[in-house]
Amino acid sequence: MSILRTLLGIVILTVIVLVNTIVVMWCERKWMGHMQSRRGPMRTGWHGLMQPFADALKLLGKEDLTPAAADRRLFLIAPLIAFTPSLLVYAAMPWVADFTGVSFDVGIFMIFAIAAIFPVGMLLAGWSSHNKYSLIGGFRAAAQQISYEVPMILAVMGVIMLAESLQLSDIVDSQAGVWNVVTQPFAFMLFFIGMLAELNRTPFDMPEAESELVGGFNTEYSSMRFALFFVAEYVNVFTWSLICVLLFFGGWNGPLLPDIAWLLAKTYLIVFAIIWVRATFPRVRVDQLMALGWKLLLPAALVNVLITAVGMLTNVLVLVTLEVAAAIALFLLISWLGEHAGDKRRAEARTRIALGVSRQAAGRSARKTRTDATAAETEGVSA
Amino acid sequence: MGVDERAVRADDRSGVLVAPLQTLMDWARGHSMWPLTFGTACCAIEMMTCGSARYDTDRFGIFFRNSPRQADCMIIAGTINLKMVPRMKLLYEQMAEPRYVIAMGSCAIGGGPFSEGYNVVNGIDTVIPVDVYVPGCPPRPESLINGLVTLMERNAAGELSAAQRWALEGRSA
Amino acid sequence: MSESTATKLTTATATAGSAVLHELDGVFDVDVLGPGGIACARTGRSDLLAVARTLRDSYGFGHLDLLTAIDNPPDVGGLDMLYGLVRRDDGEQVMLRVALAEDSLSVATLSAIWPAANPLEREVYDLYGVHFEGHPFLRRLLLRDDFDGHPLRKSYVMGEHGVSAEQVTDAVQSHGIVGPEGDATVAAFPFVGTEKNGDPSLRSQRLILNVGPQHPSTHGVLHLYLVLDGESVIAAQPTHGYLHRCIEKLCESRSYKACTALIDRCDYVSGFHQELAYMLALEELLGIEPTPKADYIRVLMSELVRISSHHTWFTAAGFDTGALTPFLYAFIDREEILDFFEAVTGARMMFNYFRPGGVKDDIQPEAAERLRAWLKRFDASVDEYEAMLTGNEIFRARTRGVGILTCKDIEDWSVTGPLARGSGYDIDLRRDAPYAAYDRIPVNVPLGTSGDTFDRYVIRVAEMRESARIALAALDGMPEGPHLAEGVPRNLRPPVGAAYRKVESPRGELGVLVVSDGSDKPWRLKVRSPALSNLHVAPYMLEDCKVGDVIPVVGSIDVVMGEIDR
């Protein structure tokens, strides 16, 4: 009986997740479309609502190719390794107060641990494809994973300290009064950046990097195996938005409406933010991504732990003030770094270039006089 | 699955299980088309324009993919010369079945204004099977969209692709 | 070419250039053939290197502008090499001609003096079979390695229906690469990067990456051969020819007017510039003056097409760095321009609109009004799409200090256009050697300071605004009168001679050389492609770059393969 119940739970959860995934896919194409002053899918179902179904079904019916030179076994299992954890995390994910698969004491770390398997799939895919683009994409995925997992989990430490629990339902309950995004804005900022990197979304879509690496790790994948990567990516978008809501936006807490409505509404707000970023930002370079992760976000996450500790020793007001100040400081720092990116190299270049330009100076003054003469002529004509 | 098997199945639509599945698949293929971003010449600029806000191919479920493995159809947008033709063939072979080809512009159809030249392939349909020809030099974006939609409508009606017809005729791509 | 077909280049007044050549006459065996708009001298094969070096070092002709060949009729045999040099200080041009006999089609390479000669000589080797002594990498540039013959020779017979089915079958079965590949080829590349210091045993294995010819962001069919050490670029070599469409050869069998249609398709993003350069050269040969109104219309069209070309580049600038939205914003405005082109010329891209002596049709008042309104709000639209990239931290981090091009490289590699101006190299033909109505409309030239990808971006955006201003000035200042000169014969038969005219295209100095033998078809039509020279400097810009930089840096060159391969 209990096995049946478990199976039923798995089926229900999977259906809920996949339906949401399809909605996320549709949202991405529609919202991106409208942000780009076009309409997105219109012809397949009401405003293209059936578009993801058509895409998925069509992919199912395509030929499954394995490159001749590929490491066949790894090539075939890599998509499964990438896809499985994306659903597996829901085992520990609380939806509303009493709708949780398995309520772990260390729920949040359980989720992080399972989610960390995804890049392994990407690495395997990149390695086994026997394609140089895939290889570079796979390696980038692995490097990116290490650089961002650490600051992201450290950023969550603040939340865990406030809730004094690793259990997600406890973390949500601790936000019944004030959401963590108010008391932990700095942590939220770090978490959101880390989350985008974890999801391989713009501006951190290095492993795919369409304009550089064609398709990155999934270049050689077709048919259902590609669909698995594709779906896993969007499941992850939904998953991490959900986690973000549970950690920072009070989970299912909210007045009037039922819990699940609040949860989904908040989740889709985060999904919207992720899509918004994709429509707005270019992509960072791989070494810049590393530098950002290790040199900026990691120390910042440690600072956040410190601030939270100070806040817990004093009072909430101090905590909020410090957190907001730190968040503004980080924002200004990143803006300043962007504003002055490459200044040193540009200064060097200017001196190198100046040597060449001086040879032209004479010619330029000669031309100036000629332009002046032409201008005078023109005036003469118009007069 | 091999080409022949599918070709036979497309003709025989009476099966109890296969027929509804085939109908569903035809619907999917009629509503989702991922062309490969493969532009060689002038036509490529118009192909690009197809994705822009005024024309927006996304409305029809047309979504450009970069990797031939994931693409359904290849738009030959521009002149193909002797240096390019092996690469074009390779890209075609890298695509997964069922695959379609659209010859966009007079160069791809028949060499266009360069057909007398010493280096230009006079029509790609001597090398790979072409499903839809979109004439023009270059064709307007509307023409290309019409070509793509025609291809999708054919799929929805369960018609054979050019590759399948070649296979039935015994021609090799 | 024999004396009877075409000997003199152009028929304008004597210039400083011809004075220089006369001076040289005493030193070398130089036969001054001028006087002409471009002074031209014949020099012996053995003297070429010495003459070229003197011209560069003592007279400041630092830019190798043109390097091509003009074939003689098959019964005469042999061909002439033609070298065009430019002095940047005053824009003066000279040309050198070297006659090569049929039995010894070989001449010393200029690539030691101007590296820019490297790809240009490869092109002549490819199309004419001239052997360049001492060339570092003499290999076919445009055609397949296994191509049979040198097609631009007059003695080359084209098949009646172009390429035969057998040729296509053969081509499909082989990649056409003859000779050593891999490391042996890499050894001939200009190595740009340096493997980082340290223990050689710790270095990783080199990875050779072929980017293109089908790649989402190689701007057509460019093929980049990259040598990587991890994510760092060690060496790069652009390979092209995937869009060689025999335009120059086909023009030789078309009437002068029919050539315009082919010329349009060279640089398909800015067809008007291509047409304009051809018309200027043709008019010079024919001795026709375009009407004043036509001059203004030509300026208007050139500037509009420059904006639309920069829109295409802007799209690429976004895509290359991973931003998707700039494309959609820029193309909304591009469509407005194309609407205007369509209203006036009937075509969106392939205009065939300029005629000897003017333009095909007048501009309708309604179209002009609509355009005027659009031009007036254009600045605001540029603000809008600049807001997505210019100030964006990530975009700045990706482009600033990346892909630096120095003035030495610019001179060595004959770089022109926004690419040169991004490094503060102050050249712009619209101002320096005005053509059409540019002498009546002042042109401001935006200049960069650091020569990196970001500066080139800033320059092009500034050029878009400037072009809109010039277009508006041309529209407002347009005189009344006919748009086409009267008395231009239907069948054009220019007198024997040659003319070479350049215009400032969105990619740099675009030149067209027309050689007439007095018949109704050009004897030789050569397009000087700015993007070809600009592209081959890419390996030097990729110094210290990562894989992710390659595409934005090459994208900032703004290549159009149609014009490079022709």
* pLDDT single digits (tens) C322-348: 888 888 888 988 998 999 999 999 888
Alpha-carbon gap: C441 to the closest alpha carbon of chain A (Å): 8
Q: Which burial class, exposed, middle or buried, applies to B72 when counting CB atoms under 10 A from its CB (0-12, 13-18, 19+)?
A: buried
List beta partners, residue C354: C359
Chain A residues lying within 8 Å of B27, measured CB to CB: 54, 57
**Per the structure block, which two tokens stand in for C145?**
């390695």
Radius of gyration (Cα) for chain B, nearest Å? 16
Q: What is the mean pLDDT of residues A186-193?
A: 91
Please choose, from the candidates C531, C6, C517, the residue with its C-alpha nearest in 3D space to the C-alpha of residue C274. Answer: C531
**pLDDT score at C186:** 53
Q: Residue C245 is nearest to which of B120, B126, B138, comparing CB atoms?
A: B120
The answer for B 76-115 residues in CB contact with A (under 8 A) is: 94, 96-98
Q: Residue A220 is nearest to which of B24, B34, B69, comparing CB atoms?
A: B69
| pLDDT 10s digits, C20-31 | 776 766 655 555
Give the chain B residue whose CA is nearest to the CA of A211. Answer: B66
Q: What is the mean pLDDT of residues C6-16?
A: 44
**Per the structure block, which two tokens stand in for B29?**
């293929």
The answer for B 113-142 residues in CB contact with A (under 8 A) is: none
Q: What is the mean pLDDT of residues C148-159?
A: 83
* pLDDT band at residue C468 using 50, 70 and 90 as cut-offs: very high
d(CA C530, CA C83): 15
Q: Is some CB atom of chain A closer than 8 A to the CB atom of C451?
A: yes
Inspect the interface and report whether the beta carbons of C549 and A352 lie closer than 8 Å. Answer: no
Cβ pair C303, C467 in contact under 8 A: yes
**pLDDT score at C177:** 63
**pLDDT score at B87:** 86
Alpha-carbon gap: B173 to the closest alpha carbon of chain A (Å): 17
d(CA C182, CA C107): 29
**Per the structure block, which two tokens stand in for C164?**
């035969």
Q: Report DSSP state, residue A94.
A: B
Please choose, from the candidates A236, A207, A195, the residue with its C-alpha nearest in 3D space to the C-alpha of residue A28. Answer: A236
**Per the structure block, which two tokens stand in for C524?**
């030789």
Query: Could you write out the DSSP letters of every residue in C158-203?
Result: PPTTSS-HHHHHHHHH-----S--THHHHHTS-B-S-PPSS-GGGP
* pLDDT band at residue B4 using 50, 70 and 90 as cut-offs: very low
Q: Please state the separation of Cα A92 from the chain's center in Å.
A: 21
Whether the predicted pLDDT of B10 surpasses 50 = no
3-state DSSP call for residue C412? helix
Inspect the interface and report whether the beta carbons of A211 and C442 lie closer than 8 Å. Answer: no
Inspect the interface and report whether the beta carbons of A345 and C439 lie closer than 8 Å. Answer: no
**pLDDT score at C541:** 84
d(CA B134, CA C479): 42
| pLDDT 10s digits, C220-240 | 788 888 887 777 787 788 888
What H or E segment, with its residue span, contains residue C64? strand C63-71
Q: Please state the separation of Cα A172 from the chain's center in Å.
A: 22
**pLDDT score at A92:** 80
The answer for C 217-256 residues in CB contact with A (under 8 A) is: 217, 231
Q: Predicted ipTM?
A: 0.84
Alpha-carbon gap: C427 to the closest alpha carbon of chain A (Å): 9
Q: Is C508 left (phi over 0), alpha (psi -120 to 50) or beta?
A: left
d(CA C514, CA C530): 17
Alpha-carbon gap: A33 to the closest alpha carbon of chain B (Å): 8
Q: What is the mean pLDDT of residues A15-25?
A: 89
**Per the structure block, which two tokens stand in for C70?**
């003009």
Mutate to test the interface with B, among A27, A32, A53, A58 (most CBs of B within 10 A): A58
**pLDDT score at C98:** 85
Cβ pair B79, B107 in contact under 8 A: yes
Cβ pair B120, B81 in contact under 8 A: yes
Q: What is the mean pLDDT of residues B129-141?
A: 91
* pLDDT band at residue B17 using 50, 70 and 90 as cut-offs: low
Q: Is some CB atom of chain B closer than 8 A to the CB atom of C155?
A: no
3-state DSSP call for residue C66? strand
**pLDDT score at A379:** 39
Owner of token pair 């709000």: C377
**Per the structure block, which two tokens stand in for C564?**
């490079």
Query: Could you write out the DSSP letters of every residue in C303-351?
Result: HHHHHHHHHHHHHHHHHHHT--HHHHHHHHHHHHHHHHHHHHHS-SS--
**pLDDT score at C15:** 57
Q: Mind spelling out the 3-state secondary structure of A288-302?
A: HHHHHHHHHHHHHHH
Give the chain C residue whose CA is nearest to the CA of A137. Answer: C231
Q: List all chains that touch chain C, counting a touch as 3 or more CB pairs closer than 8 Å.
A: A, B
pTM for the full predicted model = 0.87
Inspect the interface and report whether the beta carbons of C561 and B41 lie closer than 8 Å. Answer: yes
**pLDDT score at A299:** 92
Inspect the interface and report whether the beta carbons of A54 and B70 lie closer than 8 Å. Answer: no
Whether the predicted pLDDT of C182 surpasses 80 = no
Alpha-carbon gap: A193 to the closest alpha carbon of chain B (Å): 27
Chain B residues lying within 8 Å of A218, measured CB to CB: 67, 70
Query: At A62, which amino acid appears?
Result: K
Q: What is the mean pLDDT of residues B58-62?
A: 89
Cβ pair C306, C503 in contact under 8 A: no
| pLDDT 10s digits, C469-501 | 999 999 888 888 888 888 888 888 888 888 888
Instruction: Count CB neighbours of A256 within 10 A.
Output: 6
Q: Report DSSP state, residue C440.
A: T
**pLDDT score at A366:** 44
* pLDDT band at residue B146 using 50, 70 and 90 as cut-offs: very high
Q: What is the mean pLDDT of residues B3-11?
A: 47
User: Cα angle at B32 between B23 and B109, to 5 degrees?
Assistant: 105
Q: Report DSSP state, residue A47.
A: G
Whether the predicted pLDDT of C301 surpasses 80 = yes
* Maximum average pLDDT range among A272-281, A316-325, C394-403: A272-281
Q: Please state the separation of Cα A213 from the chain's center in Å.
A: 18
Q: Is some CB atom of chain C closer than 8 A to the CB atom of A372?
A: no
Q: Report DSSP state, residue C58.
A: T
Q: Is some CB atom of chain C closer than 8 A to the CB atom of B17?
A: no
Q: Is some CB atom of chain C closer than 8 A to the CB atom of B9?
A: no
Owner of token pair 């650091």: C450
Give the chain B residue whose CA is nearest to the CA of A38. Answer: B53
Chain C residues lying within 8 Å of B53, measured CB to CB: 328, 331-332
| pLDDT 10s digits, C33-83 | 543 467 777 777 887 888 888 888 887 788 888 898 888 888 888 888 888
Cα dihedral C208, C214, C216, C218 in deg (nearest 10): 70
**pLDDT score at C189:** 55
Cβ pair A210, B54 in contact under 8 A: no
Query: At C335, which amino acid appears?
Result: E
Q: Is some CB atom of chain A closer than 8 A to the CB atom of B72?
A: yes
Please choose, from the candidates C100, C56, C57, the residue with its C-alpha nearest in 3D space to the C-alpha of residue C78. Answer: C100
User: Cα angle at C75 between C74 and C79, to 5 degrees?
Assistant: 50
Q: Report DSSP state, residue B1.
A: -
d(CA C132, CA C150): 15
| pLDDT 10s digits, C443-467 | 888 888 888 888 899 999 999 999 9
The answer for A 46-75 residues in CB contact with C (under 8 A) is: none
Q: Is some CB atom of chain C closer than 8 A to the CB atom of A2?
A: no
* pLDDT band at residue A383 using 50, 70 and 90 as cut-offs: very low
Chain A residues lying within 8 Å of C212, measured CB to CB: none
Inspect the interface and report whether the beta carbons of B117 and C246 lie closer than 8 Å. Answer: yes
Q: What is the mean pLDDT of residues A261-282?
A: 90
Q: What is the mean pLDDT of residues A166-183?
A: 84
| pLDDT 10s digits, C379-429 | 898 988 888 888 888 888 888 888 888 877 888 888 888 988 888 888 888
Q: What are the residues whose beta carbons fall under 8 Å from the beta carbon of C206, sequence distance 6 or more?
A: C227, C228, C229, C234
Q: Is some CB atom of chain C closer than 8 A to the CB atom of B82?
A: yes
**pLDDT score at C33:** 54
Give the chain C residue whose CA is nearest to the CA of A381. Answer: C440
Whether the predicted pLDDT of A377 surpasses 80 = no
Alpha-carbon gap: A115 to the closest alpha carbon of chain C (Å): 25
Q: What is the mean pLDDT of residues A279-284?
A: 88
List beta partners, residue C210: C225
Q: Please state the separation of Cα A204 from the chain's center in Å.
A: 7
Q: Is some CB atom of chain A closer than 8 A to the CB atom of B2?
A: no
Mean pLDDT for chain C?
A: 82
Q: What is the mean pLDDT of residues A269-295?
A: 89
Strands of C363-416, DSSP E: none
Chain A residues lying within 8 Å of C216, measured CB to CB: 210-211, 214
d(CA B121, CA B125): 10
d(CA A313, CA A304): 14
**pLDDT score at A380:** 37
